[in-house]
């Protein structure tokens, strides 16, 4: 058992815009940093409303989880930060496209503001994919 978390980093998601990691893995758990809707190639905010921003955020998080040996299908807990709960239905509709069979536990919190004027930010806790043939 390692006492030092593994730093997860991928070019498939925006680089951290501060002194933090895209994610840390410890044993079989993965803890992502909050992702806002930045295009990983340009580091610019995506255009569009809550639905488009949520898609970009979830695509970014998918890339981070894949780099850690996991997937959206292995997410246990999500925290969604929104600047306006009036966007909840739009965000929820997109959420249902990404989490079809076993949606994670989730909290949604309205906040006064998010970095770079984002409408939505999400962080996740997931488990690594079990090894093929394991009963885990």
Domain-wise residue ranges, the chain: 6-127
CB-based burial of residue 72 (10 Å sphere; 0-12 exposed, 13-18 middle, 19+ buried)? buried
The arithmetic mean of pLDDT across residues 99-123, rounded, is 97
| CATH class label, 6-127 | alpha beta
The mean pLDDT of 91-100, rounded to a whole number, is 97
Dihedral class, residue 69 (left if φ above 0, else alpha if ψ from -120 to 50, else beta): left
Output the pTM of the full model: 0.93
Read off the pLDDT of each residue in 73-96 and give the average, rounded to a whole number. 98
| pLDDT tens digits for range 2-15 | 689 999 999 999 99
- φ, ψ of residue 73 in degrees (nearest 5): -70, -10
Question: What pLDDT, on the 0 to 100 scale, is given for residue 135?
Answer: 44
pLDDT (mean) for 22-28: 96
Q: Is residue 4 within 8 Å of 101, Cβ to Cβ?
A: no
Which residues on neighbouring strands pair with residue 105, listed in sequence order? Answer: 77
Give the confidence band of 22 by pLDDT, cuts at 50, 70, 90.
very high
Residue 57 burial (10 A CB sphere; 0-12, 13-18, 19+): buried
Count CB atoms within 10 A of the CB of residue 56. 22
User: What pLDDT is stored for residue 1 in this prediction?
Assistant: 56
Q: What is the pLDDT, as a whole number, of residue 129?
A: 77
């Amino acid at each position: 058992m390692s006492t030092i978390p593994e730093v997860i980093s991928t070019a498939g998601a925006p680089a951290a815009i501060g002194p933090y990691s895209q994610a840390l893995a410890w044993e079989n758990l993965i803890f992502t940093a909050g992702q806002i809707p930045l295009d990983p190639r340009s580091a610019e905010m995506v255009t569009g409303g809550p639905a488009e921003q949520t898609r970009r955020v979830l695509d970014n998080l998918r890339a981070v989880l894949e780099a850690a040996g996991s997937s959206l299908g292995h997410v246990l807990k999500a925290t969604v930060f929104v600047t306006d709960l009036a966007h909840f239905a739009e965000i929820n509709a997109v959420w249902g496209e990404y989490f079809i069979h076993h949606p994670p536990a989730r909290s949604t919190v309205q906040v006064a503001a998010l970095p770079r004027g984002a409408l939505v930010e999400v962080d996740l806790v997931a488990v690594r994919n079990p090894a093929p043939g394991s009963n885990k």
